[in-house]
Amino acid sequence: MRTVSEGGPYNCASCVLLSGQNAVRRTSDCPPHFLVCFFLMILLVVPSLWAQTPANGQIVTLDDAAQQLAERAAAIPGLRGPLRVEFFQDGAFAGETGKDWQESFKRNLEKARVSVTEDAGANVLRVGLAETPTELVLSAGVRVSEKEEARFVTLPRTAFHASSLPVVPVRIEKQLVFQSGDRILDAAAFADGGDTGLLLLAYRGTDLSLIKTDTSGTSRQFASLAATGIRTSRDLRGEVTVAGNETQVSLPGKSCRVGWSTPDDVNCGGAKPTWRAAVVLTPACDGGGWKLAADGADWSSPDMLQVMPDGAGRRGSAALLSDFPGPILSIAGAEVPSAALVVTRNLRTGNYEVYRITLACGN
């Protein structure tokens, strides 16, 4: 896999990363930032969690799991109270589990001599309950001495006697199609006859440009947008839309049209941007549609793509989650109804990456 440095040729990465076993939850209004950290940790550690569950079957109820989680949280080195406990759980799922386990957790935490308070200035202990395809996972996360600490307890779904948990009719397939050291704001797929590739709104050094690539990711044409006067900003937003043989670029307070006939075929003017609505994908097996969403507000944390059944009549259905190596910067529909492009910044490598997300039928 090749990466590109500032101003160099653009090349794509061809490896396909399947989501494997997608994390599943019901649709909810839970705070998305916590869900990002919580579900990412679940995806990373679930394979090793069985070793933490007593072989004698001690954890058979949510109360048992809450008690053990409280004991593990209280044993975190350097943890001092009082702590303000915040619980995070899907609203629909909370109707089945109730809140008794939350009270049990707080009681057992105090039994372990860690005091609990409602003081808004106290250190926060975040406790969550989530579903995976095979387990219920309880998590406790807290910052101690500038370090994030987390503890987990799992409960087999078969041990939880609730109504039948939903079956997800689609799965997420994720493919890394492009990466670069240059900052990418947005990406769009184009298909013009036999000509296909990506359109990238990105900075080449300090020059905001629109880059046209072929299917291999190699750059073919550049269109400078320097005349817009848009300056580099951490929170700068920009969107690319394919309009026939032209490309429309939306920026804060400006709109540009790129015709591609010559390098200077760029016309920009003042305009109030109309940002794209949430992307809804429609796989062949489910015409109801699936809405894509992400938090993307914290540039220092990995993000989670949420794929939720669209429409009020489908609330309470299962949703899919797919983790990313950094904040999600943009989501745009691709050239087919079942696919989208997601731009993220990899916090480990520092590169900007473009993923193709496809909703495929079946689990």
What DSSP line would sit under 83-103, residue for residue?
EEEEEEE-HHHHHHH-SHHHH
**Percentage, residues of the chain above pLDDT 70:** 73
Q: Which residue has the tokens 């799991």?
A: 65
Helix (H) or strand (E) holding 44: helix 32-49
Higher pLDDT, 320 or 329: 329
Residue 2 predicted with pLDDT over 80: no
Query: What's the confidence (pLDDT) of residue 356?
Result: 96
- Residue 93 has, within 13 A of its CA and on its CB side, a CA count of 24
pLDDT one-digit tens code per residue, 161-176: 544 445 567 889 999 9
Contact 108, 116 (CB under 8 A): no
How many angstroms separate the Cα of 126 from the Cα of each of 97, 147, 151, 216? 18, 14, 11, 44
* Mean pLDDT over each residue of the chain, to the nearest integer: 78
Q: Tell me the whole-structure pTM to 2 decimals.
A: 0.60
Question: Which residues, 6 or more positions from 204, have their beta carbon under 8 angstroms from its beta carbon?
Answer: 6, 7, 182, 211, 222
Mean pLDDT of 207-220: 87
Residue 133 predicted with pLDDT over 70: no
Q: Assign 58 a pLDDT band (cuts: 50, 70, 90).
A: low
Mean pLDDT of 114-139: 87
d(CA 155, CA 223): 55
Residue 83 predicted with pLDDT over 90: yes
- Closest by CA position to 242, among listed 212, 277, 272, 283: 212
Residue 155 predicted with pLDDT over 50: yes
Query: What's the confidence (pLDDT) of residue 29?
Result: 41
For residue 246, list its beta bridge partners.
243
For residue 250, list its beta bridge partners.
239, 255
Mean pLDDT of 221-230: 83
Residue 209 predicted with pLDDT over 80: yes
Mean pLDDT of 132-161: 82
Angle between helices 100-111 and 62-74 (to 10 degrees): 30
d(CA 3, CA 19): 23
Domain definitions of the chain by residue range: 1-22+168-223+277-363, 30-159
pLDDT one-digit tens code per residue, 246-270: 899 999 888 999 988 887 889 988 8
Q: Assign 312 a pLDDT band (cuts: 50, 70, 90).
A: low
Residue 271 predicted with pLDDT over 80: yes
Residue type, 246: E
Q: Assign 35 a pLDDT band (cuts: 50, 70, 90).
A: very low
Count of other CB atoms within 10 angstroms of residue 140: 23
Output b/e per residue, 81-102; b: 16+ Cβ within 10 A.
bebbbeebbbeebbeebeeebb
Query: What's the confidence (pLDDT) of residue 57?
Result: 44
Higher pLDDT, 60 or 67: 67
Q: Assign 323 a pLDDT band (cuts: 50, 70, 90).
A: confident
d(CA 268, CA 136): 53
Residue 90 predicted with pLDDT over 70: no
Residue 43 predicted with pLDDT over 50: no
Q: Dihedral, CA atoms, 268, 186, 347, 141, nearest 10 degrees?
A: 110
